[in-house]
Amino acid sequence: NIGGSNTAFVYMSSSDPKELSEAVSQVYDEYRGIFIDYYSVWETEQSDRSLAFVMQVFCYGFIALMTLICIANILNTISTSIDLRRREFAMLKSVGMDSKAFNRMLVFESLLYGIKTLIYGIPLSILLILAEFEMMRGTFSFGFFLPLPYYIGAIAALFGVVLLAMAYSFRKARR
């Protein structure tokens, strides 16, 4: 008798939580007229895992889509740049610029695109991580850290895209 009402609590554990949850659910359905409530940790964990999986698929899909859009944007920018500068390239070659110097110019130009991206992207991402940390500080207790392996991976991926763009610009410029 708790607080003037007849309340009973029953805690159960099982080596097969799915079977236990199904059995308790049947009892719950059978005695629906009587106030019975149950909470299954196993069902909650299964629901949380399913939700986490859906969120991961959504997030990784979004990241993949954004990555493909960015790569296409970089290639489009370089392609447009080369198309618009054909006369400039022809003039440079006519005044004596050899292929080696021309290729070196394109390499430096592509590297500057990548470095400029890092100069804007890394500080912005650190600010976003700090803002997210500040928002979650009251909810979770963990220290602030920068995910350096992810930064290194992102930098490597960026320069991979820059190399791809460089190869594309070489092919486009030779035509």
For the stretch 9-44, pLDDT in tens is 677 777 888 888 888 888 877 776 676 677 778 788
Give me the mean pLDDT over the 147-165 stretch: 89
Give me the mean pLDDT over the 75-94 stretch: 82
Query: What is the reported pLDDT for 33?
Result: 63
| DSSP for the chain, written as a single string | -BTTB---------S-HHHHHHHHHHHHHHTTTS------HHHHHHHHHHHHHHHHHHHHHHHHHHHHHHHHHHHHHHHHHHHHTHHHHHHHHHTT--HHHHHHHHHHHHHHHHHHHHHHHHHHHHHHHHHHHHHHTTT--------HHHHHHHHHHHHHHHHHHHHHHHHHHH-
Query: What is the reported pLDDT for 57?
Result: 96
Q: Is the pLDDT of residue 4 over 70?
A: no
Give me the mean pLDDT over the 155-168 stretch: 86
- pTM: predicted TM-score of the whole model, two decimal places: 0.61
For the stretch 38-68, pLDDT in tens is 777 878 888 899 999 999 999 999 999 998 9
For the stretch 114-146, pLDDT in tens is 899 899 999 999 999 999 888 888 777 778 888
Query: What is the reported pLDDT for 8?
Result: 65
Query: What is the reported pLDDT for 1?
Result: 42
Q: Is the pLDDT of residue 152 over 80?
A: yes
